[in-house]
Structure 1
Amino acid sequence: MIHLIYVKNIISRTVGGTFQELSFAVRVRNVGFGKQVEVHWAGENGVWQVTPAEFRSELPDGEEVWVAETAIPLTRQSAIPGNIQFAARLTHDGISHWDSRQGQNYTLDADSGIVVLEPVDMRVVGCRPRLAPGMVALPIEVAVRSAVGPEAVTVHWTTDGWATQHATQAHYRRDHWDRTVGSNARNPNRYGWEVWAARIPLQHAYRVEIAVECRARAGQFWDNRSGRNYAARRGTLKVLTLNLHTYQEEDQLRKFARVARAIRERDIGIVCLQEVGENWNDGAGDWASNAARIINSHLPEPYHLHTDWAHLGFEAYREGVAILSRYPFVYTDSGYISDSRDPYDIHARKVVMAQVQAPYFGRLNVFSAHLSWPSGGFYPQFERLHQWAAEKQTPDVMGTLLCGDFNIPAGSEAYRAIVDTGDYEDQFLKVMSGRVFHKIFRERAPNALDLLARDGRIDYIWLRQGNRLRAIGAEELFTDHCYGRVSDHSGYLVEFEPR
């Protein structure tokens, strides 16, 4: 259920001070959500500490890699841990599983570098899945068992899915740790492991995949993460759509703070809101009470905000739509898509549109929409939205997203009308049920929409087909079990990467 992969124990000496850096990589069985992975360790003082691990990557056969890291400073008041003993624990549904070397605990001397605990001769260590903003070169460290007689270590890599590939030679230096972190650790260490290092020139690539080859006296060895390759990428694009229900819940300020908390914790870049209320004030509105403005004010760094209102809602509010974006607007627009423009008519419907410039994604056209139900004007409203989006789809636009409350049940005839355009695809469905998505949007199988009979959604994130975005994750937010209810709607989050 849980097995330690490698451990790193280094005492670094830099201008920032002296630190003992500990890193533990753990292989765990994916037993489901809610699991906890942590490393228990103690230094020479015998005081046990617990360091939580975080998810790093998936492995074949239902396994995952988690990593726990900590850095302990040397100060006048406290010593560093020195030699350590340690064990790893996986907890799920109240049941714990340990890798503690059959109860004896693992041990590792201070400043001893890296030791691999699996029965392999080579392992890539410390490869993080996220490329930091502005990073133009990726450092790679490879631990090799000295006994195999390594002669050359080569990092094979690609930034375009192996359409083209490159090879970078790693280098072995006895003073590796002194050069990198000012450590006295030996290379190789007394445990029989040596570190080879390379730097991959990323420039402005979004994603890189890596496999490592070692040629040694004992033969040739590969580490390609069990056939999946090591991978690192820039940040993804997360898009959320949520109907706020125009001030109809109790304790509105707490509700808005909860929405902002989810935006922050889920690292959401673009938020499309509907039923965005503000006090009617005889039709003049009241910016201080605007729901999108209040949510934005709760964010650590305010987003770019574009909003407009369409009609009187619940007899007391100007009701409209909004877009919040971490990324700057290139331009914004808004307009009616309904026949009616009467602010006292609930079927007077506006859509707001923003073109945003997202790093590594390029220009994206985002629409936040709240359409009427089919008997109230959905069909002509969607036709106008469809035409508007088509007019804005220029060659420099990487993706067009239609987000919001469409007031049509998944699988209904109105849903079929969108499918039949052949232009837009349901991204939440694509991630959450690829088989059903394929039958509806690829095979166009007869009666395929019946598979959505129990879906229950009326809120969607539609992506224009052929655009250069790929949905890789999705989540339903603001349910009883995820942040709690903030509306009579759930929020729908989809995560994208560029194709």
Structure 2
Amino acid sequence: MKLLTLNSHSLLEEDYLKKTQIFVEEILQENIDVFALQEVNQSHDDKILAKNPHNYYGTSILKQNNHALYIADLLAKQGKNYHWIWEDCHLGYDIYDEGIAIFSKYPIIDTKIIPLSKTQDHTNYKTRKALAICCEVNQQKTWFISMHMGWWNDEEEPFQRHWQNLVTALKPISQDTIFLMGDFNNRSDIKDEGYNLILKDKWYDLYELAQIRDEGITSSSGIAGWFSQNSEAIRIDYIFCNKKINVQSQKSIFTGIDKPTISDHFAVLTECTKGV
């Protein structure tokens, strides 16, 4: 099973159409089973889509230039009809509905929207949610969750509160296999913060389980929310699992070395054993 997560930056990117085409080509070439996206935007004032696609499982209103919708259309033109869902989280840059999305080859049998932040005001950019889908993988219920978390030191919406809200919401399904995928906004090299809290709660970082792996870098400290004069290479995008599974490999792609950069984050691509 191949999993991928990417903070896509979507409509904010220069050469947006070209970069989205590059992304879709990689999804097809790698034959990705499930991929999670963050910062999936649509123009707030764009026209509402007249009719939702049959393989769209969300309740959030789609506008015509929705980034996830465009990806779904490009995939469909290549004969790949993924099941997908998008959830609107907050207003970004005063002009975008910014959300999170998940695409799956497996039929979606259940969904959950999990509020993470205390505020759920659409006009507040600190509003955070997790988006979960359940699929049957090897005759077992398996959950895939896309999220874009807050920062550890945020006084209004700290990561620790977001994490606790997520953990509490997942307790009823804790016997199922769960994959957490996304931008966690917590560096792996800073001790006693978000990354260590996740490990302490007995979640497995698939990067650490991987038999083959690269340096793991997923972005730099030069991006929004992490700005540093020195712009260090950092790892803040992850795939975690609540069970210790067999992971063949994990690598970052769209790094500008292997393939062109398409966002201010790299994508994380993991190959692991289906199910438990």
Which bracket does the TM-score occupy, shorter chain normalised? 0.7 to 0.9
Equivalent residue for 1:327? 106
1:309 match: secondary structure: strand
The structure whose residues are more often strand, as a share, is 1
Residue 415 of structure 1 deviates from its aligned partner by: 1.1
Task: Give, in whole Å, the separation in 1 of the partners of 2:210 and 2:188.
Answer: 15
Query: What secondary structure does 2:167 align onto?
Result: helix
For 1:387, which of 158, 168, 180 is the aligned residue? 168
CA deviations on 1:147-200 (whole Å, 9 max, x unpaired) are xxxxxxxxxxxxxxxxxxxxxxxxxxxxxxxxxxxxxxxxxxxxxxxxxxxxxx
Q: Is the 8 A contact 2:211 2:248 kept in 1?
A: no
8 Å Cα contact 1:403-1:461 kept in structure 2: yes
- Residue 312 of structure 1 aligns with an amino acid whose one-letter code is L
Q: How far apart in 1 are the matches of 2:171 and 2:181? A: 15
Q: 1:432 deviation in Å?
A: 6.2
Using the alignment, how far apart are the partners of 1:328 and 1:378 within structure 2?
31
C-alpha separation in 1, matches of 2:91 and 2:165? 22
Aligned to 2:195: 415
2:153 aligned partner:
375
Q: Classify 1:481/1:392 alpha carbon distance in 2 versus 1 (closer, same or farther; 3 Å).
A: same
Whether the 8 Å CA contact 2:210–2:250 is kept in 1: the answer is yes
1:390 to 1:457, Cα distance in 2 relative to 1, 3 A? same
1:299-358 residue CA offsets vs partner (Å, 9 max, x unmatched): 121200111011011221100101000110111121321101111111100111000123
Q: Does 1:365 align with 2:162?
A: no
* Structure 2 CA distance for aligned equivalents of residues 283 and 432 of structure 1: 47
Using the alignment, how far apart are the partners of 1:253 and 1:282 within structure 2? 17
The secondary structure found in structure 1 opposite 2:12 is: coil
Q: Report the equivalent of 2:29.
A: 265
Task: Give SS of 2:251's match.
Answer: strand
Q: Percent identical across equivalent pairs?
A: 28
Structure 2 partner of 1:243 = 7
Whole-angstrom distance in 2 between the partners of 1:472 and 1:245: 28
Q: Which has the larger radius of gyration?
A: 1
Q: Is the 8 A contact 2:185 2:237 kept in 1?
A: yes
Structure 2 gap segments, 5+ residues each: 49-60, 216-231
Shift of 1:282: 8.2
Paired residues of 1:428 and 1:492 also in contact (CA < 8 A)? no
Structure with the greater relative contact order (CA < 8 A, sep ≥ 6): 1 or 2?
2
Distance 1:483 1:332, change over 3 A: same
1:293 to 69, 90, 97: 69
Structure 1 274/432 Cα, relative in aligned 2: closer, same or farther at 3 Å? farther
What is the letter of the counterpart of residue 244 of structure 1? Answer: S
Native 8 Å contact 1:428 1:493 kept in 2: no
Count of paired positions:
238
Report the Cα distance in structure 1 between the residues aligned to 2:63 and 2:122, rounded to whole angstroms: 18
- Equivalent position of 1:428 in the other structure: 207
Residues 1:303 and 2:79 are matched in the alignment: no
Task: Compute the displacement of 1:455 (Å).
Answer: 6.8
SS class of match (1:274): strand
- Cα distance between partner residues in 2 of 1:433 and 1:373: 29
